[in-house]
Structure 1
């Protein structure tokens, strides 16, 4: 099985995440897309993160009706912060019959040189990359496929900020995620 790994904090997951994941599963050769919920991204401030179990629950609620999308808590049991190469090694041991690829925006690909063992990632894994405004894709990589996915300008940062300001952000969230957050103090 060919699985695309969509890493992120998903703090919270929003419709942009779903659109991107569904697009990759439907319009590429990926059999499934797994949302890998990262407890601690090495490039992000932990202070702004909701509890990883809340974020995992929101992902599970959001993808409930999508048969080829999955939520993964694989990084919850790994050392923190989470490094993609370590997660991939663990996944390859646990699922030897799966072929794992990475899904990312062109902004992340532009900074991949800062990642732990970036040379190994770029050598051993396929990358499916969607465009992000202001970031051109380095086309010199052999295993990078540029996918003409919808451009999404929604960000979890904007959603958290809007939530604190009591703005109506309901259209930006999957219905079940909105229900999970409505009345909670996760981002308020």
Structure 2
């Protein structure tokens, strides 16, 4: 049976923390691949300089391009609207019955698993994989395989703030993603490189 990791998120933008988490889990659990699954962002929640669904997909594709064991899973973006993990995973499991899915979540999500929609059914569909994040307990009574990864306190919010204020994002984003952001003028960046 094929072993596939799933890493969901807004990826607004995707950063090195996402790549590192996916890669560590890929190797620790000997997976066949890890899929990055952007979720749909409701239009009314998007800030003026936010990336569109298409731009977020492009950034994910740019960030994972060098790594053949990473793929995109566009189910939630194509579906649109609010997606519950249970409904998404039920659909993916039905679509690919010969795949065992490993759903990668951060410590903040582990702490709130008991509040998830249809969690009792969801834990029967997939294997949760937990990654600790700074400032979270990462404790639950549900079955979660914990994978130790180097912890980095990095968020897409921080990166958007840095970009909007002209701060550095070197080593925080893949270079191809930073170039795309600046070329597209996302997150309040200038549309041309300053050259300095």
Asked if TM exceeds 0.5, the reply is yes
Offset at residue 131 of structure 1 (A): 0.7
SS of aligned partner of 1:178 = helix
- Structure 1: state its 5+ residue gaps: none
Change (3 A) 1:182 1:79: closer
Give the Cα separation in 1 of the matches to 2:167 and 2:183.
13
Whose Rg is larger?
2
SS of aligned partner of 1:58 = helix
Q: How does 1:26-65 map to 2 (within 5 A)?
A: 26-40=27-41, 46-48=45-47, 49-65=50-66
Give the Cα separation in 2 of the matches to 1:78 and 1:113.
25
Give the Cα separation in 2 of the matches to 1:12 and 1:59.
8
| Residue pair 2:40, 2:80 contacting (<8 A) in 1 also | no
Offset at residue 79 of structure 1 (A): 4.6
Q: Deviations over 1:12-51 (max 9, x none)?
A: 000111111111111213221100010138xxx8224521
1:120 aligns with 2:121: yes
The alignment's TM-score, normalised by the length of structure 1, stands at: 0.91
Give the Cα separation in 1 of the matches to 2:93 and 2:63.
26
Q: Deviations over 1:84-112 (max 9, x none)?
A: 11111111122121111210111111112
| Residue pair 2:113, 2:140 contacting (<8 A) in 1 also | no
Q: How does 1:99-110 map to 2 (within 5 A)?
A: 99-110=100-111
SS of aligned partner of 1:187 = helix
Partner of 1:154: 154
Give the Cα separation in 2 of the matches to 1:103 and 1:13.
15
Which portions of structure 1, spanning 4 or more consecutive aligned residues, are displaced by more than 3 angstroms?
Answer: none
* Matched residues, number: 184
Give the Cα separation in 1 of the matches to 2:38 and 2:54.
9
